[in-house]
Structure 1
């Protein structure tokens, strides 16, 4: 009973902390459930629901339990992009082992009237948000000449490490499509806790396909983005997480391998 009460207290305390920070500056808080290093180690089941995530933010990305597809959230809508190429609105009772959410309140807007590569889009953000020590949330909406994505297939116990799970991931190529791309730029010191650098997901305008972004070429569109300087992390307490190796020797290489 004491453990149950402690769990409730911690959950209430976390929720009140996030709420208090959001009231001070709504756009300044990132909420994260679990760690990227846990996902790498095969911790593919979490207890956080999509409904829980939407209490912490209206914008974000992640995955679903069993690595069953990519998660993309914006405008308080959450979609599941699966390895069979399908895209569906996620149910509030579905669960995630890893997700990053925020209430998206961008401070900057940059229209692109001409074609721009992924690197050129990132340069616009880097020139405005010069310090690598801050998080940045971004949204790019418009017409894309090309978007290359991947989606990890659903996994089953006994779980393989993520580096092995992604070996069979399908890739998708979207040409001349309207859509929404959202993501985060994460500081290098966060590697392992999150994904350092740019991490982006895409969904088509008709909400019928998308995935984890490998590369893209924008034809024209609008980029909005903003800095974030506060982070709240909810760590799991289940056996899979507690027994996982969260600091492997090849952590940086492994994350770059599965995310690139």
Structure 2
């Protein structure tokens, strides 16, 4: 799986499943219509959040983990619910070894070279030893729920020094902004499953980048009053996504 040409020669159809929309989450639709048991029926790998924004979600090898704002990590229950998540059955088509310090921007350039086109969706698994990783985590909300841009404004960013672990996420095309988060969106958990969260920045010392091509996106829209009444196309949608995800 070394090199960067396997996906270029053998593209095959591969489904990525998503429940709800990023724009719905931005508008405060935090009800969890789908259980994790249902979600795992669509994929063994992915990211998302939990009902009421009660932590960041990372799914690795069919095991869902919940990373809360207090720094704890625990295995999520199958009956837990999610208002927004993206999963797939991870089958890496191509991989690339990292042998020296690599910044987030440099790694994004490597990922771009591994893709056959920026018009497709890609699942990403980045595992190895990190010089540092900075993360933040959403905090559980109480009704009435506020828009996500307000709930994430005061989140603390935590820096994890000299850690080993895995980043899970997706590289999403620009035209999907609002459906999901355009660009690279990843969550991190360390090898001990003790620390992690939504990734803000990092330096990877050494490790493996694996890429899984996604050609078919299946989206299940919630059948709830909150979703039916949500504003899914605000004029400042791109700015809201950036503010909620990157604090820009």
Q: TM-score, normalised by structure 1?
A: 0.89
Q: Does 1:229 align with 2:201?
A: no
1:72 matched residue in structure 2: 58
Q: 2:179 aligns with which of 174, 193, 206?
A: 193
Secondary structure of 2:41's counterpart equals helix
More displaced 10-residue stretch of structure 1: 117-126 or 174-183: 117-126
* CA displacement at 1:226 relative to structure 2: 2.2
Aligned 8 A contact 1:42 1:159 in 2: yes
Q: 1:28 aligns with which of 11, 14, 18?
A: 14
Alignment map for 1:66-105 (pairs within 5 Å): 66-105=52-91
Q: Does 1:108 align with 2:94?
A: yes
What is the aligned-residue RMSD (CA, Å)? 1.2
Distance 1:100 1:203 in 2: 17
Q: 2:104 aligns with which of 102, 118, 121?
A: 118
Alignment map for 1:96-245 (pairs within 5 Å): 96-245=82-231
Aligned 8 A contact 1:142 1:180 in 2: yes
* CA displacement at 1:172 relative to structure 2: 1.3
List structure 1 runs of 4+ shifted beyond 3 angstroms: none
Q: TM-score, normalised by structure 2?
A: 0.93
Secondary structure of 2:152's counterpart equals helix
Secondary structure of 1:167's counterpart equals coil
Q: Does 1:48 align with 2:34?
A: yes
Which one has the bigger helix percentage?
1
Aligned 8 A contact 2:13 2:216 in 1: no
Q: Deviations over 1:134-181 (max 9, x none)?
A: 001110111100100010110010111001000222221100001011
Consecutive unaligned residues of structure 2, counting only runs of 5 or more, are: 1-10
Consecutive unaligned residues of structure 1, counting only runs of 5 or more, are: 1-24
Distance 2:192 2:12 in 1: 29
Higher relative contact order (CA closer than 8 Å, sequence separation 6+): 2
Distance 1:45 1:131 in 2: 35
Distance 1:256 1:61 in 2: 18
Q: 1:31 to 1:56 in 2, by over 3 A?
A: same
